[in-house]
Amino acid sequence: MRNGRFDTSATILPLLLLLALPAFGQNNATAPRALTIDDIGKVQRPGGPQIAPDGRRIAYSLDDRIYVVEDARPQAVTAASGSAWSPQWSADGDSLYFLSDRSGSNQVWRLPVDGFGEAEQVTDFEHGIGSLNLSPDERRLLLSFSDNDLREAPESEEPQPFVVTRRHFKRDAGEGYITAGEERHLYVYDLEGKALTQITSGPFDETDAAWSHDGASVVFVSNRDEPDASYTTDLWTVAANNTDKGQSLTRLPNNANSKYAPAWSPNGDRIAYLTAGDGVYGQANVAIVAASGGQPEVLTAALDRWVSSFRFSADGRWVYFNYDQSGATHLARVRIGDRKIETLLDGERIVSAFDVGSGRGIALRANGRNDAAEIYRFDGRRLLQQTRINDAFFNEVAIGQKSHVSFESSDGTVVEAFITTPPGYVEGRAYPAILNIHGGPVGQFGWGYSFGAQFFAANGYVVIEPNPRGSTGRGQEFINAIYEVWGVPDYDDVVAAVDYAVESGMADPERLAVTGYSYGGYMTNVVITRTDRFKAAASGAGHSLIEANIGHDIYQKWYYWELGVPWENHDKYAVVSPLLRAGNVTTPTIFLGGRLDWNVPILNAELFYRALKVQDIDSTLVVDPGMHHGGWTEAFDKDYLTRVVGWFDKYVRKE
């Protein structure tokens, strides 16, 4: 339910500096052709940038190759044969490590980047290498495996029964049931000696492992108290050369918060990490704690915004981070000594990934108001575009204009939304309109190119994408507003967005449709039980009867934490279950989902589909075989969007 689909007290820099920054990818040229469904994969997204120790060169992955860019001159440094990804600079900056499957399995390779020499294979590990996590001395790798990963495959090919003993027993993304031996543990792999040493163990998962500055210790994240019942996680450290499989561990901050993505300071005396309140709606902040333990300090609490990621400065005095702000994602830094926060890049852009080099050099991946992600350099004052990966596409295709608006909901709460108009939009003409609701619910629509919205716009629709209560970018109170009342205040907000578009003359009130995926699909189900103003609906992977999902989907911890057990709290579950109000529906609806989705099982769509069929309301159920909640094939993505537009054309555009 958390994912969307087809998307994407601070000190501010002086206004003159912000005005001096270059615009992000605004292309005013008239494009010769309309966007079509076959353009779905045309826009490319580079991998997160990695800045070299010298601060000049930036490595990134794109289209199965590794590139290095300096002074806006990108160059492919890996061959077109085989895939390559996850570049990481050597400490001296002379080489790049990366992962590749060119030898038949995923292994680590090393490539000189001075123009001399070929890439050499560093590992030949029989189980393959899943991630590139090199020690500071570049002699060891941190790896993660479950016992089942390392177990020899049985000779029999007959499928075996799933034997489940855990309270939390399902994962999505094609994993399904969690059985014995699925817990993931940490291993150190010696590159020269080819020895694999297990450094953690037990009936727990360990994630987010990071080396200390001297390579002597490893910090990781684990819930070792109630892994199946609580969202609380803690930071733990373990000696990298321990031989007791992690029986000797040090626990760092011990509180009810969730903690993740730890990183050691450059001198190794402190560990920074992201922390959020227990449960689903806790806003992520940067915190820091002494490596030896003690009381943690939250560095970004005064900002009251959701932090996505962070990096230490080279001198360890600052922590750089990006945070959501009203549909944008800004770049900022906080000084550890006094918690002074400086926003470095704001405005109508998304800074989705970044890396901090020596001095104030920063490499970042970002996009502007209506374009796609590119690689940039930022030196503290100037923002310099390094790649133009998608210029040709945007010069070829007509793109609808995207604007940011705000308005009041029914109770006076200020709500924001993005509105995309069709190419060639005529001011004052009311167009058929689609209310598109994001997933999460904790997330946001933001600036930048989105194929889904542009495809709807190319087919003649105004696209309304609100950030209702529950969204990030507006602070913790705004997120918490939907606690125990999903689909109540956020319903008012999404309807207020439609009212705004109608009153502004953009949307025809007689030609409205509603759609969304995941929590957006859930909200679509809510909307059609509350109003008949929409002529058609398309519900993608949306929950309908929450009680039916306990033990069936992956969210039992969420339900019990927020709503309690259903046999004692039926009324709470009834409030958030739109299927129980299906008798109010008159809207023709198409339901879509993946057959193997354990995030929002197709059961939800089946229940709602049947409820409409017995009322003789036109409805269709589309189940895509082999698909789970995300990671659909391009063919199924095309089919999904084509069916949604076809359904809307049938009911919204009819005379």
Note the pLDDT of residue 618: 97
CA terminus-to-terminus distance, the chain = 36
Domain ranges across the chain: 46-124, 400-652
Question: What single string gives the DSSP state of each residue in 540-599?
Answer: ES----GGGGTTTSS-HHHHHHHH--TTT-HHHHHHT-GGGGGGG--S-EEEEEETT-SS
Q: What is the CATH number of domain 400-652?
A: 3.40.50.1820
Torsion angles phi and psi, residue 554, rounded to 5: -100, 10
Torsion angles phi and psi, residue 375, rounded to 5: -95, 135
CA 86 vs CA 51, 133, 298, 362: distances in Å? 13, 10, 30, 18
CA 549 vs CA 554, 565, 597, 599: distances in Å? 8, 12, 12, 10
CA 448 vs CA 53, 173, 402: distances in Å? 30, 26, 8
Amino acid found at 598:
W
Tokens describing residue 479: 């997120």
Among candidate residues 307, 349, 330, 523, the one with its CA nearest the CA of residue 446 = 349
Amino acid found at 114:
D
Note the pLDDT of residue 155: 67
CB 467 within 8 A of CB 416: yes
- Using CA atoms, how far apart are residues 218 and 2, in angstroms rounded to an integer? 30
Residues in contact with 314: Cβ distance below 8 Å, sequence separation at least 6, in sequence order: 266, 356, 357, 358, 359
Note the pLDDT of residue 163: 84
Mean pLDDT per 10-residue section of the chain, whose length is 655 residues: 50 26 42 90 96 93 96 93 94 95 94 82 92 96 90 72 83 79 92 94 94 96 90 94 89 89 96 91 96 94 96 96 97 97 96 89 95 94 95 96 97 98 96 97 96 98 98 96 96 98 97 98 98 98 96 92 95 97 98 95 97 98 94 95 98 79
CB 342 within 8 A of CB 322: no
Tell me the whole-structure pTM to 2 decimals: 0.92
Q: Tokens 């694999």 correspond to what residue?
A: 196
Note the pLDDT of residue 31: 47
Residues in contact with 219: Cβ distance below 8 Å, sequence separation at least 6, in sequence order: 209, 210, 212, 235, 236, 237, 252, 262, 264, 271
479 in helix, strand or coil? helix
Note the pLDDT of residue 181: 82
